[in-house]
């Protein structure tokens, strides 16, 4: 739908697409990857990442088949440790916060508010 609420005509869309050449479209789609291949996100996984992920998944499946109770206990302890470490980092970060002093912290006169509570 167009900005004015009208349906866009197919003639205008065809004219707009015909105005752009295929070379310009390829440059728009692949230009960044061609100029900066290491910074581009076109390639999602590398071979080593894929191999490591498959090894981790296959090891987890093997462990679940061999000793399911021990595997689930180890996963539970690992998840608990991870969450505890994250919470610890947040507590350390929160402990180092300092209040921001400003003139607006304590105004000379406080505003009056009315709260309506329908019962």
pLDDT recorded at residue 66:
96
Per the prediction, the chain carries an average pLDDT of: 83
pLDDT at 67 > cutoff 70? yes
Q: pLDDT band at residue 11, thresholds of 50, 70 and 90?
A: low
> What is the pTM (predicted TM-score) of this model?
0.46
The enclosing H or E element of 42 equals none
Q: How many CA atoms lie within 13 A of 34 on its CB side?
A: 6
**Range 1-17 average pLDDT:** 59
Q: pLDDT band at residue 48, thresholds of 50, 70 and 90?
A: very high
pLDDT at 116 > cutoff 70? yes
pLDDT at 81 > cutoff 80? yes
Q: How far is CA 68 from the centre of its chain?
A: 32
pLDDT recorded at residue 13:
57
Helix (H, G, I), strand (E, B) or coil at 66: helix
Helix (H, G, I), strand (E, B) or coil at 33: helix
């Amino acid at each position: 739908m167009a900005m004015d609420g009208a349906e866009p005509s197919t003639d205008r869309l065809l004219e707009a697409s015909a105005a752009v050449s295929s070379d310009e479209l390829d440059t728009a789609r692949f230009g960044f990857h061609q100029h900066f291949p290491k910074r581009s996100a076109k390639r999602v996984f590398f071979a080593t990442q894929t191999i490591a992920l498959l090894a981790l998944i296959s090891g987890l499946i093997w462990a679940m088949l061999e000793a399911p109770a021990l595997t689930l206990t180890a996963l539970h302890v690992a998840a608990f440790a991870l969450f505890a470490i994250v919470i610890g980092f947040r507590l350390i970060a929160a402990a180092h916060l300092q209040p921001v002093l400003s003139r607006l912290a304590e105004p000379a006169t406080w505003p009056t508010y009315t709260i309506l509570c329908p019962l």
